[in-house]
Amino acid sequence: MNLGQWIGLIAILLSLYILWQIREVLLLMFAAVVLATTLNRLAKRFQRLGMRRGFAVLLSVAIFLAGVVGFFWLIVPPFAQQFQELTNQVPKGFGRFNTWLDALRTRIPSQLVPYIPDINSLIQQVQPFVNRLLGNSFAFVSGSLEVVLKILLVLVLTGMMLADPLAYRKVFVRLFPSFYRRRVDGILDKCEVSLEGWITGAFIAICVVGLMSLIGLSILGIKAALALAVLAGFFNLIPNLGPTISVIPAIAIAFLDEPWKVVAVLILYVIIQQVESNFITPIVMAQQVSLLPAITLIAQLFFVTFFGFLGLFLALPLTVVAKIWLQEVLIKDVLDEWGNNHQQETELVIVSKSPGVDDNWTAENPDINEKPSIDNDVLKPEN
């Protein structure tokens, strides 16, 4: 390798290191891009109805903010009340369970008594963990403040991009060579359409899962059924893992009422998850975004490992965008053209070395199919 190649290699490694260090900022920027793309597509729909651009953008932002405020208004007050009740009922539940275990010890053979767990010993083992958790309350508050600041950053970036999306798009396109900019612009169009498809499919799935959860929880008589249903729909944005996370608060609230409701809630969420996986996702999401289930799960594990919870939440749109860029750039523009370019170069070399053919034939006749016929003896190697 010469000096120029070494400098290029060092520059690439340095760029990768810088990108790795600012990976969280890049992820927040991507979140802002997804949100700005969503609101921009909604504003364009309003513009088709005859509304001006400024009013359409303001209406889109107002709908988004109303949705966010409504989400927290439905979720936070019921859960705050239920959490307070949960902290009072959990010790009572442990006491009743301990009484039941004591009665069980008197009815079973003495050989089996040592295998029955002791609630008091379990509480003593958990006590250090609880103390450590309470001791880290300052870290929790600081982490919450960090989350709030990140959300504000995403909202500010979204507002800036939404004000003039075409200018930011031109800046991104100009980062590529001039001969490839039109191609990049077309790839961005495909990314925008795919993100819109994912958002549409996700919104339909959220509404269906939320409605099914609301009906089921209401029939079972679970408290805060509306809040739990909204939460189940929201966590449905996280494929595979979201439904498992959403069932935890539902089981905790069901525990406050009757023990049998815990089993009923668990069965309900399993049924909803089966319906969502076997009917909603194949019918809705497959038509909007074609992603293999294994690819989705691998992408979730990858992004949650390197980016944390935000990476898990944005794993699907990131995978959608990455799939388009790999398919268009790596597969179509590089791999699919690799053999064709090599074959054309080989034919040009053979023609240029053929005797009896004018040296300027290649420049004057760029179409390979119109070249004159070549005698087979010409292709024999020289002695």
Q: Where are the alpha helices (DSSP H) in the chain?
A: 3-21, 23-48, 53-105, 119-135, 137-163, 165-173, 181-220, 225-235, 242-255, 259-275, 286-288, 293-307, 309-313, 315-325, 336-352, 361-364
- Residues 166, 303 within the same domain: no
Out of 74-78, 113-117, 265-269, 295-299, the most confident range is: 265-269
Query: CA-CA distance, 40 to 34, in Å (whole number)?
Result: 10
The answer to whether residue 315 sits within a structural domain is: yes
Residues 139 and 155 in one domain: yes
More confident residue, 11 or 348: 11
Does 30 reside within a domain? Answer: yes
The pLDDT of residue 215 = 92
Residue 70 clears pLDDT 60, i.e. is over it: yes
DSSP letter at 353?
T
- Count of domains observed in the chain: 2
Q: Are the C-beta atoms of 62 and 49 separated by less than 8 Å? A: no
As a whole number of angstroms, the distance between CA 185 and CA 171 comes to 11
Q: Are residues 152 and 190 located together in one domain of the fold?
A: no
Residue 121 has pLDDT above 80, yes or no: no
Task: Assign 10 a pLDDT band (cuts: 50, 70, 90).
Answer: confident
Least confident interval from 18-22, 96-100, 327-331, 375-379: 375-379
Q: Please give the radius of gyration of the chain, using alpha carbons only, rounded to the nearest integer.
A: 31
Q: Do 171 and 259 share a domain, yes or no?
A: no
- Same domain? For 252 and 304 the reply is yes
Whether 205 maps to a domain, the answer reads yes
pLDDT exceeding 70 applies to what percent of the chain?
A: 69
Cα–Cα dist 113/88, whole Å: 30
89 and 39 both lie in a single domain: yes
Q: Are 239 and 127 part of one and the same domain?
A: no
Q: How far apart are the first and last CA of the chain?
A: 35
User: Domain limits at 29?
Assistant: 23-175
| Residue at a domain's end among 143, 175, 207 | 175
Whether residue 213 has pLDDT greater than 70:
yes
- CA distance linking residue 161 with residue 273, whole number of Å: 36
In a domain, 58, yes or no: yes
Distance CA 215, CA 207 (A): 12
Same domain for 188 and 283, yes or no, is: yes
Q: Which of 318, 335, 352 is the last residue of a domain?
A: 335
Domain assignment of residue 303, yes or no = yes
Say how far apart CA 315 and CA 238 lie, in whole Å. Answer: 8
What pLDDT shows up at residue 112?
67
C-alpha span between 354 and 62 (Å, rounded): 72
What does the pLDDT average to over 192-208? 83
Joined together, the tokens standing for residue 45 give 């729909």
Q: Is pLDDT at 237 greater than 60 in this prediction?
A: yes
Residue with tokens 């749109």: 317
* 72 plus 160 within the same structural domain: yes
The per-residue pLDDT for 95 is 66
In a domain, residue 364? The reply is: no
| Residue 288 to residues 180, 192, 275, 314, Cα–Cα distance (Å) | 28, 12, 18, 17
Average pLDDT over residues 96-104: 69
Pick the more confident residue, 336 or 352: 336
pLDDT tens digits, 241-271: 777 788 888 887 887 777 788 889 889 998 9
Length of the chain measured in residues? 383
Q: How far apart are CA 233 and CA 227, in angstroms?
A: 10
Query: Per the domain annotation, does 12 fall within a domain?
Result: no
The region of weakest confidence among 75-79, 137-141, 196-200, 262-266 is 137-141
Q: Are residues 171 and 185 in the same domain?
A: no
Tell me the one-letter amino acid at 284. V
Q: Please list, in sequence order, all residues whose beta carbon lies within 8 angstroms of the beta carbon of residue 54, skipping any fewer than 6 positions away.
A: none
Does residue 108 sit within a domain?
yes
pLDDT at 181 over 70: yes
Distance (Å, rounded) from C-alpha 147 to C-alpha 242? 20
Residue 173 pLDDT more than 80?
yes
Structure letter (DSSP) for residue 50: T
Q: Of 175, 207, 236, which residue is a domain's last?
A: 175
What per-residue string of b and e applies to 368-381 under the rule 16 or more CB within 10 Å gives b? eeebeeeeeeeeee
Q: How many CA atoms lie within 13 A of 297 on its CB side?
A: 5
Query: Are 74 and 190 members of one domain?
Result: no
Band the pLDDT of 114: cuts 50, 70, 90: low
Mean pLDDT is highest, among 141-150, 211-220, 251-260, 370-379, for 211-220
pLDDT in tens, 33-61: 888 888 888 888 888 888 888 888 899 88
Do 171 and 261 share a domain, yes or no? no
pLDDT over 70 at 325, yes or no:
yes
- pLDDT at 141 (0 to 100): 42
Which among 17-21, 35-39, 97-101, 252-256 has the top mean pLDDT?
35-39
Higher pLDDT, 140 or 189: 189
Do 174 and 181 form a contact (C-beta atoms < 8 A)?
yes
